[in-house]
Structures are given as C-alpha cells and as structure tokens.
Structure 1
Amino acid sequence: MIYTVTLNPSIDHVIEMNELQEGIVNKVNIENFYAGGKGINVSKILKEHGVENIALGFISGFTGEFIKNNLEQCGIKNDFINVLNGYSRINMKIKTNENETEINGLGPSISSSNIKDLFNQLEKLSSNDILVLAGSIPPSLSDNFYEEIMKQLSTKNVKIIVDARNNLLLNVLKYRPFLIKPNHNEISEIFNKEIKTIDELIFHGNKLKEMGAQNVLISMGGDGAILITESNEIYRSNIPKGTLKNSVGSGDSMVGGFITGYLKTNDYKEALKLGAASGSATAYSDDLAKISFINELSSQIQITKL
C-alpha cells in the first residue's frame, strides 16, 4: 500500500479577481475550495491514475472535517488523526490578471499524544509499502520530524519518498530515502548558491546522492526535469506544449505520476515520463490534472539519457 503523510493540510481557498488593492473592499470573480497540502495532492494524483492509497496526517476543527470529507468524496481512503487544539489551516491563493499572491495559515498545535498516534500508525508499515512524506510541518513540530519518522522505519525496508525543503530534507538523507524531489530553487537554497546550468544541477543532485538519497528527481519548471538514479544513470525530460494556468501542485503531481510509472513498469525512464506528464498536466489545468489530459500530454514527453 502507498501512504501519504500531510502533517499540515489545508483548505486551499483559490480566488480569481482582476486586481488586488490594499485598503479597500475587493470583490472576487471566481472562488473555489479544495483540500490541499503536498501529500494530499500526491494522493489525489495517485487516485487519478487508479492507484489506491491512504492519506495520513493531522486535521482539526471544522476545516479538518472539510478536508476529510473532500478526500472521501474523491474516493481516497484516509486515517487522519484529530487534533483538539486549533484548526486545520486555510491557505488563500489570489490570482489576478498580473500575478498570484498566497496567504498561508498556521495550522493546529500538535500534542505529544497526537505524535504517538501517528507513530503507532506508521509502525504497521512493511517492506511492501511506500511512504510519501511531503510538505511543511506545523509550527509546533521540529524540523527533524521527518528524520524521526525515517529513524523509526529504518529497519522495515519501506520505500520512503521525501518532498520537503531545507533541513526537513537534509536531516533525512542519512536514512537513505528511496527518492527525494527538490526543485531547482530548492537545490539553490540547500547549497546556498545560485545554480544556473544543467551541469551545476546534476553536480549538486549527485551531492545529495552522496549524502544518502537513492534517487534524486529535480523539477525545473519550464525546463523539464532531471532524474539521477540509484545506478547513477541520468535522464532528462522535456515538457509538452501548453499554457501555464496553475503554479500549485505540479511538483506533487510529478511525484504521484512518478510513483505510478515506477509501480507499473519498474523502469525509471517510464516513471520520469509519467511524472513529467502528470506535473505538466496540472500546470496547464485550473486544478490538479485529470487522467485524460495526463495521457494526452504523455505522448509529447521525450526522455533523454545524459
């Protein structure tokens, strides 16, 4: 089974308006509400591909109930832990004719008993399972939390995929995650330097492998993606033609597509191809991609060995 963990899920309140002005009343043209969070996005894309999975994490209050109900309406199994203090956050994403603005909430306060409940769930995983750790954590948790999860599971041979930033990612590398998925900006943040070329990205991707990652998938926006495999093969994908509509969830969609491709073929090239198609389809959609559009774009993806 595949399990996704979203420690700080949200309601994404997506607003479209002509312009946003401070100090006055602004009216929206279109608004939608979605259950959000990186792990949840991965769950939704996996489900779109017909891959069953279970969403884990913390929810709280009436906003948490919305998140749970939204996933159930999508046919996604979940086993969220209910938190008593606070509310699952609401993230506002405001799209105008000129740009996008995001205002993100904080999330609930996670207690030690909540943490114990999550670790008890994870203790049941085995070598047949895949675990996706994705996204930010609530302020009440430390940035070694993913590390603690991987430490607990270190003897179970669970394939663990990590999509996180800075210390959340760096701290897990000693436990050899199956896959990490930084984007090109996050690579620059990790190494505290501007990275301008593909060769520089590959060099620093290999540094992350040396630090423990088995496979490194680097998303590069309009320049495609690079995969450095456990056997040191390097592949690059292009991106299909399309119009960018949505900057939210394309990286998560790439992760969901990659997992699907890997499970179906056990081939890293095919995993990268389906990952690139899934990520691009979301970028060219108003919301997370639908399978028909993913399949349409997949034929345009070319994988080159570097």
Structure 2
Amino acid sequence: MIYTVTLNPSVDYIMELNSFQKGGLNRSSSESAFPGGKGINVSRVLNVLNVKSIALGFAGGFTGEYIKQFLNKENIITNFVEVNESSRINVKVKADDETEINGSGPTICKETIGKLLDQISSLTEDDMIVLAGSIPGSVPKTFYQEIADLCLRQGTRVIIDAEKNLIQPVLSLKPFLIKPNHHELGEMFDTEIDSIEDAVHYGKKLQEYGVENVLVSMAEKGALLLTEDDVYYSSIPRGELRSSVGAGDSTVAGFLAGLSRGWSIEESFRLGTSAGSATAYSIGLCTTEKVESLFKDIQITKI
C-alpha cells in the first residue's frame, strides 16, 4: 500500500474576480474549494490513475471534516489524526494577477505526533510512504528524519519531496526516492543547475549519501531519473503551461503508480512524466484522459 503524509493540510478556497480593488468591496465571479497539500495531491493523482493509497496527517475542525469528506467522495481512504484546532484555510484570489493568503494551521501537540508515529510503525516492507511538503511550526523540524529512521528499521520505502532543510537529515537513512526540481537540487549544493549534465552530476552526489533513486524535473528541458545502475532522460510532451501547481506531486504519483502496477522503471518514469505534464497543462490536477493522451508522446532514453 502507498501512504501519503500531509502534516498541514488545507482547504484551498479559490475566488475568481474580474478585477480586484484594494481597500474596496470586491465580488467574485466564481468560487471553488479543494483539499490542499502535497501529500493529498499525490493521493488524488494516484486515485486518478486507479491506484489506491491512504492519506495520513493531521486534521481538525470543520475544515478538517471538509478535507476528509472531499477525499472520501473521491474514494480515497483517509486516516488523519484528529487535532483540537481547525485545519487551515488558504485563500487564493485570482484577478489580473493572483494573490494568496495562507493560514498557519493548528497547533500539534506531542501526544498527537505520537499517534501518527504509531500509525506509521505498523507499516511493513510491502508499503511505501510519501513525505511531502512543509512541517508545521509546532512539529519538530526533525520529524521527517524520525519517520525515515523508523521506516528504515521496518523496511518501508520512503519517498520525500520537501525543502532542503527537511531533506538533508533524511539522506543518510536510505530513502527510496527523492524528487527535487533543478532549482531545489541546486539549492542543496549552493549552486545553480541549468544543464542536464549538471543535474546528473549533483543527482549522483545525492546518491552518494545513500539515496536509492533521484528524480529531477527540469521544466521545459525534461526530467531525469537516476537509479542505482542507470540514468534515464525523459522528454516533455508539447503543451501549453497553465499552472505548475501540483505538477511535481503528480510526477511522484505517476512514477509510484507505475511501480505499483509492476511496470519497469522506464515505463514508470514515463507515466510520472506524463502525469506531471498533464497537471502542468491543466487548471487543477490531471485527468486520466490527459495523462493517457500525453503518455505516447514521451521518449525515455538511457544516458
């Protein structure tokens, strides 16, 4: 089973306006609300690809209930640990440009953290767990490291997609997959990465720490997958960029979906690239039809 962890999920409330007047009365032309968070995005795209997952994390209040009910309606299993305060609301105002106001989220106590660790301690070597996104201020910054250490001892494969200071302590704990984009990979080594050759060089440096697989997305330049023995390059299908939000999460979901189906590493990489591109070429997350339409146009080569 694939498990996703979203420590600070949100209700993303999107308001579209014809124009926005600061300090005045504004009326929206349309509104929508979706559950937000990188781990939740992974679970939702896995569901689009007909692969089951269980969404873990912390949720509370009426917003937490909305998140769980929304996912349950999509037939996504949730097992969030209940917290006393409400999960956050992120407001996104789309007019001539886009303005975001993100909530800080609930306070997470030590007892609640322990309940999530108890859930994770029941995972086995047949399971994978995706650690995605930021950590709330009330949770120790070493929490991903603690989870990865627990998973190493029980044989559970760890996938992590987070910022530099959260990834670095996990590197020596042999994570199964790390998925930075080329900017994030450069930040980890205090450099800029503009070429495929540079990305391969620094991706291999990550593997020297003990990382099994490194998946690097490079926007219009394509994507790289470094495995224990090989390096693969994926082209990007042609399309119009609509929004990059959730594209990286979709790439992770597609890759894991392929592996869970028993596909080869190359075909799983192809599915990851097609899912990421399908989301980038859409408003919102990808659809099954969009992923399938792009899949055949992607070329995977060993370099």
Q: What SS is found at the alignment partner of 1:203?
A: helix
Whole-Å separation in 2 of the counterparts to 1:201 and 1:95: 34
The reply on whether 1:280 has 2:277 as its aligned counterpart is yes
CA 1:282–1:90: 2 relative to 1, 3 Å = same
* TM-score (structure 2 length as normaliser): 0.96
Is residue 2:83 matched to residue 1:87? no
Alignment of 1:290-301 (within 5 A): 290-301=287-298
Structure 1 stretch 169-178 or stretch 10-19: which is displaced more?
Answer: 10-19
Q: Is the 8 A contact 2:124 2:154 kept in 1?
A: yes
Query: What is the CA distance between 1:154 and its match in structure 2?
Result: 1.7
The structural deviation recorded for 1:106 is: 0.9
Give the AA of the match of 2:75. G
Match of 1:258 among 255, 260, 265: 255
Which among 135, 138, 157 is matched to residue 137 of structure 1? 135
The residue number in structure 1 matching 2:4 is 4
Query: Where does residue 74 of structure 1 map in the other structure?
Result: 74
Structure 1 distance, partners of 2:198, 2:33, is 39
Q: What residue is the counterpart of 1:206 in the other structure?
A: 204
Residue 20 of structure 1 and its aligned partner are, at CA, apart by 3.9
User: Partner of 2:59 in structure 1?
Assistant: 59
Change (3 A) 1:247 1:175: same
Contact 2:128 2:157 in 1 (8 A): yes
Give 1:246's aligned amino acid. Answer: S
Greater mean deviation of Cα atoms: 237-246 or 122-131:
237-246
Q: 1:219 maps to what in 2? A: 217
- Structure-2 change in CA distance of 1:267 and 1:14 (3 Å): same
Moved more, 42-51 or 192-201: 192-201
SS in 1 for 2:153: coil
Contact 1:258 1:275 in 2 (8 A): yes
Q: Distance in 2 between matches of 1:19 and 1:276?
A: 35
Q: Is 2:151–2:158's contact at 8 Å kept on the other side of the alignment?
A: no
SS at match of 1:15: strand
Cα 1:279–1:74 change in 2 (3 A) is same
RMSD between aligned alpha carbons? 1.4
Between the two proteins, the alignment pairs up a number of residues equal to: 303
Please tell me the residue identity of whatever aligns with 1:27.
R
State which drifts further: 111-120 or 260-269. Answer: 260-269
Contact 2:42 2:253 in 1 (8 A): yes
TM-score normalised according to structure 1 size? 0.95
1: CA distance, partners of 2:164 / 2:177: 16
Aligned-residue sequence identity (percent) comes to: 48
In structure 1, the gaps of 5 or more residues are none
State the 1:30 CA deviation: 2.5
Counterpart CA distance in 2 for 1:191 and 1:94 is: 35
1:97-121 CA-to-partner distances (Å, cap 9, x unmatched) read 4x43332211111111101100110
Indicate conservation of the 8 Å contact 2:237/2:297, yes or no: yes
Equivalent-residue separation in structure 2 for 1:283 and 1:172 (angstroms): 28
Match of 2:45, SS state, is: helix
- Which residue number in structure 2 is paired with residue 243 of structure 1? 240
Q: Is the 8 A contact 1:144 1:167 kept in 2?
A: no
* 1:208 partner letter: L
